């Protein structure tokens, strides 16, 4: 099966919004063996929507649109789809009641303008929106008319989804992908993901080049981002011999870059660290300077983190480091705030202050100012204290201020992961 993704919204074409929805949908389709042939971004204009649908259904078995399902005048997608599929609009009382209930939970009456969201094309199957007011729509086997020739009598599927990322992702995960997985059972592929941190994309390739070249039948993608590199391997391994061959490939991969792989699932590093802390019944406290609370933010993004995360503080000034963490004035004067000594004392201080099993600390120069020849932009020290030892690690990170903070927080979490696994840091 082949897919086309149509992203609807003026904001996507004037530089105000990055089209992350299309990337998410394409990735999810790829995981079930459906290739996205085209991604199209168009304005909130009926003519543009109709033209894009005509082209998409001529080329694809699956069409997914996002955007234009809200209550304001620029949200015209439903009416355009009703026009395209020759469908009457009908009022759905159940949807309106759901909308009213959502507003009641917020303590306010539902604005009358939201009533438009309860008007639905009669020929569409409703798709539940578990976290929003606008349901998704599913049209199967296009109605006769302008696209009869394109349809060719075969069933094609058009999914109409909200543009709000959280709502779109929930509908895709809970409804669209399960439906399409069943429809595309014959074309399913296996996608293996290896998430790494602390190593560059070019280094991974250099280390794994011979292994990857020995398996040209595997589709390999390197997916770099600020905090690491995801290695994605797609394969069609139906019989036992091919599966054994892949198992040997995977063993070789772990032997080569295993120390950098923190998960083979979709989890972020903070979730992996949280599981390790919970399994070992250990508690954590964090003291941050240059990362400004980002380590703590990542840790507490995980539900249930109160099981292992006791608390922390952002000690930005030298005075706060001394007063709240017990950093010695002598260390600050002799070595400076960005130093191994201060990172160690911060980690020890926060562990002591909160009575935690482990203390983690960050101190560095995120820029754009503050750097010197001796202490360049991107210099960060991470401290880690346990009941048995205290250590600090030096990092030289690249990027702008936000990237350095993000990479510093990621490095702190990776330092924790390796400590918890007894790996070399």
| CATH at 27 | 3.40.980.10
0.95 exceeded by pTM: no
Considering the domain architecture, whether residues 103 and 204 belong to the same structural domain is answered as no
Considering the domain architecture, whether residues 111 and 241 belong to the same structural domain is answered as no
Considering the domain architecture, whether residues 89 and 200 belong to the same structural domain is answered as no
Per-residue pLDDT of the chain (425 residues; tens, 9 = 90+): 899 999 999 999 988 888 999 999 999 998 888 999 999 999 999 999 999 999 999 999 999 999 999 998 889 999 999 999 999 999 999 999 999 998 999 999 999 999 999 999 999 999 999 998 889 999 997 544 444 444 344 689 999 999 999 999 999 999 999 999 999 887 777 889 999 999 999 999 999 999 999 999 898 999 999 999 999 998 876 677 888 889 999 999 999 999 999 999 999 999 999 999 999 999 999 999 999 999 999 999 999 999 999 999 999 999 999 999 999 999 999 999 999 999 999 999 999 999 999 999 999 999 999 999 999 999 999 999 999 999 999 999 999 999 999 999 999 999 999 999 999 87
Considering the domain architecture, whether residues 178 and 41 belong to the same structural domain is answered as yes
Residue at 422 is within a domain: no
Considering the domain architecture, whether residues 116 and 234 belong to the same structural domain is answered as no
Beta strands in 60-165 (DSSP E): 62-66, 89-91, 119-121, 125-127, 136-140, 157-161
Residue 286: name the closest of 194, 399, 413, 166 by CA: 413
- Domain CATH code at residue 203: 3.30.70.2860
Considering the domain architecture, whether residues 277 and 154 belong to the same structural domain is answered as no
Q: Which of 153, 168, 187 is the last residue of a domain?
A: 187
- Are 62 and 4 within 8 A, CB to CB? yes
Considering the domain architecture, whether residues 402 and 297 belong to the same structural domain is answered as yes
Q: Which residues of 198-236 are buried (b: 16+ CB within 10 A; e: fewer)?
A: bbebeebeeebeeebeebeebeeeeeeeebbbbbbbebe
Instruction: Count other Cβ atoms within 10 Å, centred on residue 42.
Output: 20
- Domain CATH code at residue 293: 3.90.950.20
- Are 36 and 62 within 8 A, CB to CB? no
Instruction: Tally the domains of the chain.
Output: 3
Q: What distance in Å separates the CA atoms of residue 114 and residue 71, rounded to the nearest whole number?
A: 5
Q: Which of 137, 170, 187 is the last residue of a domain?
A: 187
Q: Which of 245, 263, 281 is the last residue of a domain?
A: 263
Considering the domain architecture, whether residues 125 and 194 belong to the same structural domain is answered as no
Strand partners, 42: 8
Residue at 423 is within a domain: no
Angle ∠(411,166,225) on CA atoms, nearest 5: 30
Residue at 424 is within a domain: no
Cβ-count burial of 79 within 10 angstroms (0-12 exposed, 13-18 middle, 19+ buried)?
Answer: middle
Considering the domain architecture, whether residues 209 and 156 belong to the same structural domain is answered as no
Considering the domain architecture, whether residues 100 and 179 belong to the same structural domain is answered as yes
Considering the domain architecture, whether residues 34 and 168 belong to the same structural domain is answered as yes
Considering the domain architecture, whether residues 249 and 339 belong to the same structural domain is answered as no
Identify the domain containing residue 40 by its residue range.
2-187
3-state secondary structure of 158: strand
3-state secondary structure of 247: helix
Residue at 233 is within a domain: yes
């Amino acid at each position: 099966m082949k897919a086309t993704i149509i992203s609807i919204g003026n904001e996507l074409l004037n530089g105000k919004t990055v089209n992350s929805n299309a990337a998410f949908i394409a990735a999810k389709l790829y995981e079930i063996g459906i290739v996205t042939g085209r991604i199209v971004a168009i304005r909130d204009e009926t003519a543009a929507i109709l033209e894009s649908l005509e082209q998409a259904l001529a080329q694809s078995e699956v069409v997914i649109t996002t955007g234009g399902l809200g209550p304001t005048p620029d949200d015209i997608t439903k009416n355009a789809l009703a026009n395209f599929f020759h469908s009457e609009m009908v009022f759905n009382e159940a949807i309106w009641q759901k909308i009213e209930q959502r507003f009641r939970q917020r303590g306010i009456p539902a604005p009358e303008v939201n009533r438009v969201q309860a008007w639905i094309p009669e020929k569409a199957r409703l798709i539940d929106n578990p976290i929003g007011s606008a349901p998704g729509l599913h049209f199967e086997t296009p109605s006769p008319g302008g696209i009869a020739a394109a349809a060719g009598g075969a069933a094609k599927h058009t999914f109409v989804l909200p543009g709000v990322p959280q709502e779109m992702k929930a509908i895709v995960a809970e409804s669209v992908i399960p439906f399409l997985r069943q429809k595309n059972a014959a074309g399913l592929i296996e996608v293996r993901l290896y998430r790494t941190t602390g190593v560059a994309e070019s280094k991974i390739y250099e280390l794994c080049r011979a292994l990857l070249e020995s398996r040209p039948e595997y589709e390999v993608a390197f997916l770099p981002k600020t905090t690491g590199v995801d290695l994605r391997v797609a394969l069609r391994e139906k019989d036992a011999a091919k599966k054994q061959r892949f198992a040997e490939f995977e063993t070789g991969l772990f032997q080569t870059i295993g120390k950098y792989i923190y998960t083979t699932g979709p989890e972020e590093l903070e979730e992996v660290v949280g599981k390790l802390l919970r399994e070992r019944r250990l508690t954590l406290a964090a003291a941050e300077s240059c990362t400004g609370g980002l380590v703590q933010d990542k840790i507490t993004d995980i539900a249930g983190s109160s099981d292992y995360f006791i608390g922390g503080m952002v000690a930005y000034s030298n005075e706060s480091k001394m007063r709240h963490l017990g950093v010695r004035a002598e260390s600050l004067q002799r070595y400076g705030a960005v130093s191994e000594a201060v990172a160690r004392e911060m980690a020890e201080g926060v562990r002591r202050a909160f009575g935690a099993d482990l203390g983690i600390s960050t101190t560095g120069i995120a820029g754009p100012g503050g750097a010197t020849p001796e202490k360049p932009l991107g210099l960060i020290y991470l401290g880690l204290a346990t009941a048995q030892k205290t250590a600090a690690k030096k990092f030289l990170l690249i990027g702008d201020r936000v990237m350095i903070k993000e990479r510093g927080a990621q490095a702190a979490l990776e330092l924790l992961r390796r400590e918890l696994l007894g790996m070399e840091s």
